[in-house]
Chains A and B, each alone.
Chain A
Amino acid sequence: MATAVCNAAPIPARGTAERAQLVDLLRVKAKLSRRETVRLTRIAGAGHYTSTFSAAELFAAIYYARLRYSPSDPDWLDRDRFILSKGHAAIGLYPLLADVGFFDPIELDDYTRLGSMFGDHPDMRKIPGIDFSSGSLGHGLSIGLGMALAARISGRAYRTYCMLGDGELGEGQVWEAVMAAGQFRVGRLIAIIDRNQLSIDGPTEELMGVEPIEDKFEAFRWRVNRIDGHDLDAILDAFTDLDDNADALPQLIVADTVKGRGVRRMELDKNWHVGNLVGEDYDDVMAEIDGGLQPLLAEVGK
């Protein structure tokens, strides 16, 4: 039986009707991720809204335009791998995994309940479509490096994508992996940093500065691209721009994002790292998400 592969076709060029259609689709899927994050958080009683909202466009572009996988065959050996190293954003990924067909969306209603498949951090042994369990920050890129080296040994052509948070760059193991990936020249290892500007206690640059990210990675022998992580066209262009040579430099996409993007009361507000919306607030936020991304409050003046 031939494996039905998602995203096997190349990303359509910018300016074409197909591209515009794709971007429209991704916009809908990013809304789905945000809406479900709000809904599932209410089930749990608390959740990571803002870390998920910053990654919503990235999740949509990865799963509906780039990653090659097969929902009917989650363990397909030649699939591309995706590791959510910032595992606390899994609440925004689960709904997309359900939507593409890895499992029945009704399963999501058990989110975080006793015995559920779905915890705050993803478990690969429970959830079809999760390529590796995560949650302990700093581990994911090393695991991705292992997957990329495995492809080299096994003669497989898959790519390995790993999404990290910006605050996560404080973990020393990240830099061990960055150094090793540069040494081994694993071109099919692609790191994506959700540069949403805040970690739990405040802005990264006040707390523990991570910039200049490009200079750091380039010094470690990586190829770096930096984009607006909420601009779907820019994300798609960055994917198209990736060097597919297995022996190329490892590649980083720094996605400049806004923690809490899409819900104005949460934008860049550290107090929303973990929260729970109820009552009118819940309905207001759902309506706001449905309205799509609006200009940042910071841009239009508070």
Chain B
Amino acid sequence: MTETTQGARPSSDSQEISEVFRGSADGSTKLKPKGTVKGIEAASIPAFVAGEELADLGDHDQRIVVLTADLAGASRTADFQARHPARFFNLGIAEQNMMSVAAGLASTGLRPYVSTFAAYAGLLCCEQIRTDLAYPGMPVGILAHHSGMSLGYYGTSHHSLEDLSVTRAIAGLTVVSVADANQLRAILRASLSLTGPIYIRLGRGRDPEVYPEVPADFAFGRAIRLAEGSDLTLITHGAEVRPCLDAAEALGRDGIGVRVVDMHTISDIDATEVFAAAKETGAILTVEEHNITGGMGSAVAETLLEAGVMTRFLRAGVPDEHVLLGPPAGLYAHYELDAAGVEARARRFLSA
């Protein structure tokens, strides 16, 4: 295992993990406990803007309600609680109850957003999501934070490397993966016009910037082409978008033209963009922080094969195993999901 921490991810993994449950690193939140942790840089959890964005939306939209299951700090939904305390409920460590409570709230015309670790949102609660949210079409937003293996050495119990496979099989559920703070804001705004539930897969809140401002033209099911090239397309989502962009840049310096596509909507793969990638670049490497079985890569493969489109194709992700124990940066390096790893895998793929 390579102990590299290069790439765009911060190096202080242990410190990051240790602050998950406090959730407040920028000093601006009222939740910050007395006796703060030294050495944490200000504004070091830039992507966790859901609480703040929902609070802003909630200033004008009285239907918005926010719920958490004892993770108000970790999800920063406390930012909503601070501004709209009457429309915030902390259900304690009882995630399945929280999902169904949200269903009851939504049935009266409210717009609830629930938040918990993706491992519990997408896996523990998948039946409540199916039966109480998707089947009756309840417009509930599920903030599934700390997805993938971003909780590092917390281990498999806290990882969600199967959640996309599970959630994308649920009819009537929009499934999106979020790359950064600005995209999250756009998704939250767009989610208010949905008539059914949405599973919003979030990283660990430290995801580096991809979108310098809130994308004005965000639309579910419409992928975003972030880099252009003619030799290979990296189709990716969520926390892998930034490493893919960095890898594309590195490959570009060697004359390898790489297209990068943010396939943010997993439940509604943008087939046009997939076909264009096959036709115009002749090679597709899907990259995601997920088990390679059943995730976005599988969805892209289904899209291609059913249309009879043949192209060079490879899925990058976590192999079908329970991952090693280690800090996040170490895990991303080991599984070639950091920028250097994506670059190396792309070179092997193209030279094979």
Contact = CB atoms under 8 A, between A and B. Distances in A.
B57 to A, nearest CB: 16
Interface string B280-308: 00000000000000000000000000000
B104 A180 contact: no
Interface of B: 65, 86-87, 89, 91-92, 94, 96-97, 99-110, 112, 127-128, 131-132, 135-137
Contacts, number: 96
Contacts of A154: 108, 110
Interface in A116-159: 123-125, 131-133, 135-136, 139, 142-151, 153-154
Contacts of B103: 132, 142-143, 146
A144 B108 CA distance: 11
B76 to A, nearest CB: 22
A160 B94 CA distance: 21
In this complex, the interface size class of chain A, counting residues with CB under 8 Å from chain B, is: 20 to 34
A210 interface: no
A179 interface: yes
Contacts of B128: 139, 173
Best-buried of B92, B100, B105 by chain A (most CB within 10 Å): B100
Contacts of A179: 92, 94
Contacts of A173: 94, 96-97, 100, 128
B108 A143 contact: no
A176 interface: yes
Interface in A174-206: 176-177, 179-180, 183-184
Interface centre among A124, A143, A144, A150 (most CB of B within 10 A): A143
Contacts of A176: 91, 94, 96-97
Nearest to A162: B104
Contact of B104 (A77, A135, A143, A184): A143
B107 A132 contact: yes
B104 A132 contact: yes
A133 B104 contact: no
B119 to A, nearest CB: 18
A186 to B, nearest CB: 11
Contacts of A184: 89
B92 A180 contact: yes
B135 A142 contact: no
Given A124-B136, A133-B135, A150 B104 contact: yes
A179 B101 CA distance: 13
B100 A143 contact: yes
A143 B101 CA distance: 5
B131 A146 contact: no
Given A149-B89, A173-B96, A142 B104 contact: yes
A173 B98 CA distance: 10
A147 B108 contact: yes
Contacts of A136: 127, 131
